[in-house]
Amino acid sequence: MMDNQLFAGTESAYLGKMIAEFYGKSLGSIEIQKFSDGEIAPYYTESVRGNRVFLIQSTIPPSDNLFELCLMIDAAKRASAYKAIAVIPYFGYARQDRKDKPRVAIGAKLVANILTAAGADRIMTCDLHAGQIQGFFDIPVDHLDGAAVFVPYIRKLNLDNLLFASPDVGGVKRTRAFAQHFNAEMVVIDKHRTKANEVAEMRIIGNVEGKNVILVDDLVDTAGTICKAAKIILDEGALSVRAFCTHPVLSGKAYENINNSVLEELVVTDTIPLRQESDKIKVLTVAELFAKAIKSVTQDGSISELFI
């Protein structure tokens, strides 16, 4: 009789354990062995034959985490698992989703090809940098929405004169969905980059005066854009500024930037574990959201009911 098993990779061990608890099962037993030169060798210490296995791993840099997931998929298929479902809370390389200049790689498509070649039968992820990345796969993709955990928290804040802001033009669709749900207005931050992680110019399209503003984005990396946008918004007469970003990449001077910023708080999820704590960073868990999605898949149910 087919069973459903959940396993977690090295980088998502804590989140995987929480997902398993919400799902109602213990994590399966897997050993991730490493040779002295860093070579990875995963080994399932229990049978997966004929079962549907869910492999939980965020593909956070370095690329070892992506390759570890691929090896887990390959090992499961070679051990005669019925299906190998890659549960990727944070899908790395998603920012490389198109050719924005000549002679560049489309990293998101390459990762999709690699996961498929490794033997993944299905992908489950959350808040892709660009929704159309789902089309890079020829296998089913369950694209969960971080709004499911953010919206209840925003309601509890009970803020008057609420206004949502997109930190760039690319995030307008995501921000508009929040604004429509709360029957609020939205503004857009128009920014110009000279190179990656460096903003040269920024201005607000819309009026923020007298508003409690919530910046919405899929991820926060160095936090330079978010912190600079927050200061401009406050300078333009806003009452307060908060930021809600699903994936806390938080590289470089991110923690320093956030701690020194005018942000009331930065609200993120646990798709990526924090490297250090900060009084300004609030973490919400997506474990229950993923557990419900996994249960829906195993019971041939609908994923759409999980969306706000």
Catalytic residue positions, numbered:
191
Q: Contact, 243 vs 217, CB < 8 A?
A: yes
Q: Contact, 136 vs 112, CB < 8 A?
A: yes
d(CA 202, CA 193): 9
d(CA 205, CA 147): 24
What stretches of 79-171 show up as alpha helix (H) in DSSP? 107-118, 147-157
Token duo for residue 160: 């008057």
- Residue type, position 7, single letter: F
d(CA 63, CA 172): 30
Element of type H or E holding 42: strand 40-44
d(CA 189, CA 174): 14
Q: Which of 34, 25, 31 is nearest to 5 (CA)?
A: 25
Locus of tokens 């869910």: 54
Q: Which of 3, 42, 10 is nearest to 24 (CA)?
A: 3
Q: Contact, 46 vs 29, CB < 8 A?
A: yes
Q: Contact, 126 vs 109, CB < 8 A?
A: no
* The residue count for the chain: 308
Locus of tokens 């401009």: 232
**51 CA to centre of own chain:** 27
